[in-house]
Amino acid sequence: NAGVMQNPRHLVRRRGQEARLRCSPMKGHSHVYWYRQLPEEGLKFMVYLQKENIIDESGMPKERFSAEFPKEGPSILRIQQVVRGDSAAYFCASSPPVPGGNTEAFFGQGTRLTVV
């Protein structure tokens, strides 16, 4: 059973370009979370998605950032018109559906975005 797969591992974008980060959850997991990690900082929650639904996007910047988790295919975190401050490691995690309870979230290896 493959773990959470994120690609690309490294992404370099010029200011103003778009960045697309992909996350394939573990088999059987229908919940996906995206986190951002700045150097020397912890992980900051961005968004929580279930298949075809955004459940909570309270950590997403209001502009330029969007996320989706379609019925088929990976979850995508999209950053439009990137700026230098978007440079960070973006981690995806997935978990199985556990009604009402906490469950371990498994993390991918992250995508390191560098905006030049």
Partner 1 sequence: QQQVKQSPQSLIVQKGGISIINCAYENTAFDYFPWYQQFPGKGPALLIAIRPDVSEKKEGRFTISFNKSAKQFSLHIMDSQPGDSATYFCAASRGFKTIFGAGTRLFVKA
Residue whose CB is less far from partner 1, 76 or 107: 107
Q: How far is the CB of 31 from partner 1 (least distance, A)?
A: 7
Four-CA torsion 56, 94, 97, 28, nearest 10 degrees? 140
Q: Which residues bind partner 1 (CB under 8 A)?
A: 4, 31, 33, 35, 40-45, 48, 55-56, 91, 93, 95, 100, 102, 104-110
Residue whose CB is less far from partner 1, 55 or 116: 55
Residue whose CB is less far from partner 1, 17 or 107: 107
Q: How far is the CB of 81 from partner 1 (least distance, A)?
A: 27
Q: How far is the CB of 69 from partner 1 (least distance, A)?
A: 14
Residue whose CB is less far from partner 1, 88 or 93: 93
Q: What is the DSSP string of the chain?
A: ----EEE-SEEEE-TT--EEEEEEPPTT--EEEEEEE-TTS-EEEEEEEETTEEEE-TTS-SSSEEEE--SSS-EEEEE-S--GGG-EEEEEEEE---TTS--PPEE---EEEEE-
